[in-house]
Structure 1
Amino acid sequence: MAVRTPLYNNNGNLQDMTTAMVTNLVNQTIYQYSLLPGTALSVVNSGGTLGNLFDTRLQAGVSSSGVSSYPSESATAEPGVVTFTYGKINQVKAAFTPTADTGRTWPVYRTAANEIQSMTLQDVKDTFLHPAIDSLVSGSTTTAQGGTYFISTSLSVAGATIMSSTPVFSDTRANVSAYTAGGIPESLDQPSTITNYYLHVCNGANSTYTPPMFLTASHDIQEYSSASWGSLIQEWIRYTAAQSTDGYQINYSYTSGTNRGSGMGDTRLNGSGNYQQRFINANDYRAQEFPNGTAIGINTYYLKISKI
């Protein structure tokens, strides 16, 4: 590992950057990533590449009827479990070829022998790119994670942008108040939504930084413009996040990594059935079992971020 100290122009003098200056360059790298993430998530109708999540709830049993008496509880269908599938998060990793290292592409630093030398791509990874990725994949959801994603139960979160007003997961349960004896035969599935979960992306924050110096083709030492440095470091942080082969590729899943935002809970009523009767006439006795019980947790899903 070779973390370098870039040089900067201090009123015409080449000086080593301070640790704070290098940190500012890492922060700018994160900001550039937030403008165009290399590993991007979106909300789709179905078939998202992250796979499926499952919401379950009880529904009423099928009603029964008798011509001379009510069907017994044992002869009446029990409430059943229905399952709904959510495959709404899709992951895409950018595929492109970034600017090649010519030997003078990257900032210069002062060697132990007091010589001016260009950083290698590995130096740039160790000094800027990998520290930026480490910040991006943490469990926090601040501007230091700009361009990465998390789950919230809110449509609006300060410091973030919602990806879609369509929930990526909904926890539903049987609406027990919707079932009445007077309505037998009731519709089997009468749900209520308990919680919706939405995908958000962290906003970035532009930061003040001192541009480093580089060697031109004619071996002059020149300061990067903000535009040229921003474009170059954005290419490489995007490429690292999307295509890194040295363990710094950003990846999202439901199975491994650091939790990002709210857990998406599937809850369900745990009752064995609320047996109800309805008298229509001397030849029509009806019965049906409705969902009942206390809500219990069935599963909790998390959006997770990791380096691979």
Structure 2
Amino acid sequence: MAVRKPLHYVADSLKQMTTAEIAAFIPYCKWAYSQHPSVDVSLLSSRGGGTEYTRSLLLTTTDTRKTNTSSAANASSFPSQGSLGAIGTVTTNVEIYQYVLNQSSPLFQTRTKVDNRPPRTYPVYWDGSTVRPMNQQDMFDTFYSTALTELADGTDQDGTFRISTDASLAGHSGNHAVKTWSVGVLPNGTIGPLPDGDPSLKVNGMVDTRANAGAYSIPSGVYGDQPTTINTYTILQTYSGLNPPATLKPLYIDANGNAFQYKLERMPYYNSGNNSVDDDLTYLSALIGKDMMAYASYKAAGTNQRIRYHASSGNIRGSQMTDTVLNGSGAYATHQFNTNNYTAAIFPNGSPVTQNTYTLRIENA
């Protein structure tokens, strides 16, 4: 493991980044990753033409509620409770998927492949006798490894996904957000601007409903399915925005041996001239963002630090999704409309209890 101290420019002199300054650079790495996470959570059943991503089913949630299924009327007396149908059940399933951007994606395999960076791509450091450029492994040891560990710690980290009952939770974006710099393989096979998430706006996960027992009424003719929504669980991405956190600008050396400061914000962009995805690696966001995407997706397999979501292992991300239901066996209700109409029904009743709990979790793998 080689932790380097990149050089930066301060008042006409070169300085090594301190341990504290290296630690302060980690949020920038996570922010760069958050602009287009390579591992995300979605309700889409297919994405990226079906080949750019590897899809896996994380969990299937089931919402359950009770319903009235029958009523009956007699001319001289109320139908007996035993003659009526039992209360029914309505279930709604929601499938939640993980999408992992494949190594073969054009977002990785551009004019400067993330797996084969050219010399002098990365910041320079002082090795005790000369100035040298860091390599990708140095970047991982110095910055990316810590950033990946923090991404999976279960707290709200830039670029990770969570479940929330608040669709407008501060510091988060719905998974339908379109970040205009994102480019990739569109469903028709061409390369162009790519919505970062669900363009269908389908960001709601499980919706917990229960029978509204107070709504049923024989006199008013209210029977059947009378749902009330208890909680709507939304898939959100922790996202601090387009503006990067304040950070030092380390130095790099170009092919002519000249030293420059990196710029911060330009992202990978669509080059219409050659119909490809290009990077300007003099911008830290393009360089570090693409590296972090690759390590989160596949490159950190050797150290078990890839980002992965699960239903049963890892750290909980956000709210647990609960399926609640009324626990009664049914309330027998009657009403006499007139001397020739004695009506009875069985309506849902009881106290709310939790029938199932579902959890989204994150871990390094």
Q: Distance in 2 between matches of 1:77 and 1:51?
A: 33
Q: Write the deviation string for residues 109-163 of structure 1: whole angstroms up to 9, x where unpaired.
A: 233x53433323222111111211222222222xxx1222222212322222233
Where 2:357 maps in the other structure, the secondary structure is strand
Aligned residue type for 1:233: I
Which structure is larger by alpha-carbon Rg, 1 or 2?
A: 1
- Aligned equivalent of 2:277: none
Aligned residue type for 2:286: S
- Aligned equivalent of 1:179: 216
2:124 matches 1:86: no
Aligned residue type for 1:273: G
Aligned counterpart in structure 2 of residue 234 of structure 1, from 246, 265, 289: 289
5+ long unaligned stretches in structure 2: 47-54, 176-200, 267-281
- Aligned equivalent of 2:332: 275
- Aligned equivalent of 1:264: 321
Q: Distance in 2 between matches of 1:165 and 1:231?
A: 28
* Structure 1 residue 273, shift from structure 2 partner: 1.0
- Aligned equivalent of 1:159: 171
- Aligned equivalent of 2:79: 71
Aligned 1:14-53 pairs, distance under 5 A: 14-44=14-44, 49-53=57-61
Aligned counterpart in structure 2 of residue 210 of structure 1, from 245, 248, 261: 248
Aligned residues of 1:155 and 1:165 also touching (Cα < 8 A): no
Q: Distance in 1 between matches of 2:286 and 2:207?
A: 40
Q: Distance in 2 between matches of 1:289 and 1:276?
A: 6
Aligned residues of 2:56 and 2:99 also touching (Cα < 8 A): no
Aligned counterpart in structure 1 of residue 347 of structure 2, from 278, 290, 299: 290
Judge which range, 117-126 or 259-268, deviates more.
Answer: 117-126
- Aligned equivalent of 1:224: 262
Aligned residues of 1:165 and 1:198 also touching (Cα < 8 A): no
* Structure 1 residue 25, shift from structure 2 partner: 2.4
Aligned counterpart in structure 1 of residue 134 of structure 2, from 95, 119, 135: 119
Aligned counterpart in structure 2 of residue 135 of structure 1, from 127, 133, 150: 150
Q: How many residues align?
A: 302
Give the structure-2-normalised TM-score.
0.73
Aligned residues of 1:24 and 1:207 also touching (Cα < 8 A): no
Aligned residues of 1:57 and 1:82 also touching (Cα < 8 A): yes
Where 1:168 maps in the other structure, the secondary structure is strand
Aligned counterpart in structure 1 of residue 67 of structure 2, from 45, 59, 72: 59
* Structure 1 residue 270, shift from structure 2 partner: 0.5
CA RMSD between the two structures:
2.7
The percentage of aligned residue pairs carrying the same residue is: 34
Judge which range, 263-272 or 192-201, deviates more.
Answer: 192-201
Aligned residue type for 2:152: V
5+ long unaligned stretches in structure 1: none
Where 1:74 maps in the other structure, the secondary structure is helix
